[in-house]
Amino acid sequence: MTRILATVFVALLVVTAPVTAAVGPTPAGGTASSLDSTEQETPDEISWVTTGADSTAETTTKGPDLGSALSMGDTEFENRIELGALEREFQNVDSPEEKESLLEAYREEVGERTIALHEREAAIAAEYRAGEIDSDTLLRDLAELSEEARTLSNTADTIEELSATDPRISVSVRNVRGELDRFDSPIRQDALDATYGDADRTEPILLSAAEDRLVLSTLENGTYVREGVQFDRFAPDEPGTFDSLTELDDRGPELYPWIYANLFEFGISGYDWLIGLSLDHPRGQSMSYIDATTQDVVMEYHTLDVESLPTTSTVSRTNENATISSNRVTDGGPVWVEVTEPESEDPMDASITVEGQHPVETGEDGTAWVLAPEGDVDVTATTDEGEISITVRDPSS
């Protein structure tokens, strides 16, 4: 297998002015135009993984209720590697050759189980899409995968530490780091916190699944967090197709044109199967794991200032109860809603639902950001005076 094995970290300050000409967003996993020319138009949207308007989508919450649903107690995760057993076996063999052989065997096991995590995740998403499991179960299972990935990562650390005890032993585990790191994200950390009763909030999570794709998103205190996985972009048994990191530098702007046109800082982590891109930009931070064979995004997550994201034009509707105004971030981004009194235009307290999902209350200014699936959505505001609804279009659907 030919893969990029070296680990390279790069930090650059980008001083070029952003290009603001807007075009349609790049489909996730697709190829955008090159940014070699200063005349090249750059989409104003942040490109991210999407699932399509016909995907299975619903919201769930994290917090005490979800914590109960996800309770794992003291049950050991299936197939967990016992670190104590590894250390004992290492101490019980004498020669450096035997020690190295033992560590190599454990390293191979970590690699095999890492690939199995990818396969299990795809199967879980397929079960959710087929209606065989509900959203709480999906989130619980994703949390379990993240915990198992951490267990495997701890095993990799132990292998590395034991290898370092003897200069005659050389066993490297750096090539599975990206594959394990990609199971860790802000949303999955929240799910783990809920699992162990550490969650202190109940903001909804929107889950959206399509064939070979899964997207999770949430909002908290003006921060929009979005995670996407493309299961069919992972090809661990195929040879790598990047001849150099220069080619990866070219691929990044194709996948994330707006981000690369406005970069503050970035890092590249070269692994065996997946290559990590850490991207800081004016709207927040993005992390992407790209398969070295397919050259496409396997997993990504974005932590973004929701107010900084471009939206559609605002639409409004008035009835005897209230005036509702709304716009949205395209490609399945959140919906902004404002509710005011029809005559005075003073802000009103309202409960907002999108497509009948988990309600969100407006703030003192009568506004709220609400998670929304891809496609056109119906937004309903419920006040003390009654209800008012409006349809918000998603031009990308």
pLDDT at 10: 35
- High-pLDDT (> 70) share of the chain, %: 81
Strand pairing class (360-361; 351-354): antiparallel
Average pLDDT of the segment spanning 182-198: 82
pLDDT at 176: 82
Residues of the chain with CATH 2.60.40: 315-392
Predicted confidence (pLDDT) at residue 214 exceeds the cutoff of 50: yes
Predicted confidence (pLDDT) at residue 19 exceeds the cutoff of 80: no
pLDDT in tens, 359-393: 999 999 999 999 999 999 999 999 999 999 999 99
pLDDT in tens, 236-265: 888 888 887 778 888 999 999 999 999 999
Predicted confidence (pLDDT) at residue 230 exceeds the cutoff of 50: yes
Number of H helices and E strands in the chain, helices first, is 8, 16
**What is the Cα–Cα distance from 2 to 5, expressed in whole angstroms?**
9
Residue 199's nearest CA partner among 180, 179, 220 is 220
**What is the Cα–Cα distance from 24 to 36, expressed in whole angstroms?**
19
Average pLDDT of the segment spanning 280-307: 97
pLDDT at 227: 98
* Stretch among 80-94, 97-111, 224-238 having the lowest mean pLDDT: 80-94
Q: How many CB atoms lie within 10 A of CB 197?
A: 12
**What is the Cα–Cα distance from 287 to 301, expressed in whole angstroms?**
5
Predicted confidence (pLDDT) at residue 1 exceeds the cutoff of 60: no
pLDDT in tens, 47-97: 999 998 888 888 887 654 454 444 444 444 444 556 668 888 998 988 999
Q: Which class would CATH give 315-392?
A: mainly beta
pLDDT in tens, 328-357: 999 999 999 999 999 999 999 999 999 988
Reported as half-sphere exposure (CB side, CA atoms, 13 A), residue 6 has a value of 7
Q: And the tokens for 264?
A: 């503050």
Structural contact between residues 148 and 77, judged by C-beta atoms closer than 8 angstroms: yes
Residue 25's nearest CA partner among 303, 240, 259 is 259
The pTM for the full model equals 0.84
Q: Cα–chain-centroid distance for residue 216?
A: 7
Predicted confidence (pLDDT) at residue 7 exceeds the cutoff of 90: no
Specify burial of residue 354 (Cβ count, 10 A radius: 0-12, 13-18, 19+): buried
Beta-strand runs (E) in the chain: 56-61, 204-210, 213-220, 223-230, 265-270, 274-281, 284-291, 297-305, 315-318, 323-328, 335-340, 351-354, 360-361, 367-370, 377-383, 386-392
Q: Please provide residue 161's backbone torsions phi and psi, each rounded to the nearest 5 degrees.
A: -65, -40
pLDDT at 179: 87
